[in-house]
Amino acid sequence: MYAVIETGGKQYRVAPGDVIRVESLPGEKGSEGEFGRVLAVSSEEGKILTGEAVAQAKVEATILSHARGRKVLVFHFKRKKQYKKTRGHRQNYTMLRVDQISLSPGETLKAPPKTSPAPAKKAAPKASPKAPPKTAKKASAKPAAKTSAPKKQGGSGTKKSGGTTKKR
């Protein structure tokens, strides 16, 4: 079961147990709230209910934290005028965990209980047949090193340009 809710001018598809990041909401960390603006609800059978059918629907969520997003740099620039202006902006947001979706007072879908993950057991390393040790290569197998050609002794060592310059 999932629901489509609207908050902060945006729409979110949520299911029980989901953690979502929405525009900043009032409330303390750990407090619970509910969203009355439910646009659609889908049950397990695949039916999507909208309009009058979801008029009583509610989504309950718990506030996990309040924070600020990454900085967005706004750079204003006008060419040939030496005008440059840089501003930064960080948007506030709230992290929510969806606890339950209730379609009507009697029909609710709750989030699965929160369980701590069991520590993973380390698997024993697989016994692989050992490869025979590599033998050292003989020095005579390598080709002889190349020698560089002797450098030419030239004039002053500066480049000469082929063109002439005109004075104006």
- Return d(Cα 168, Cα 150) in angstroms, integer: 45
Give pLDDT, residue 75.
96
pLDDT digits (tens, 9 = 90+) for 53-90: 888 889 999 999 999 999 999 999 999 999 999 999 99
CA distances from 68 to 12, 22, 95 (A): 19, 11, 10
Q: Which residue has the higher pLDDT, 3 or 165?
A: 3
Report residue 3 as tokens. 């629901």
Structure-token pair, residue 51: 């309009």
Write down the domain spans for the chain. 2-110
The H or E element containing residue 6 is strand 2-7
Query: What phi, psi does 52 have (nearest 5°)?
Result: -65, -25
DSSP secondary structure code for residue 1 in this structure:
-
The mean predicted confidence, pLDDT, of the chain is 80
What contacts 129, CB < 8 A, 6 or more positions away? none
Per-residue pLDDT tens over the stretch 121-165 = 565 556 656 666 666 666 556 666 677 777 777 655 555 556 666
3-state secondary structure of 141: helix
pLDDT band at 96; cut points 50, 70, 90: very high
Q: Does the reported pTM lie above 0.75?
A: no
SS3 53: helix
DSSP string, 113-140: PP-PPPPPPPPPPP--PPPPPPPPPPGG
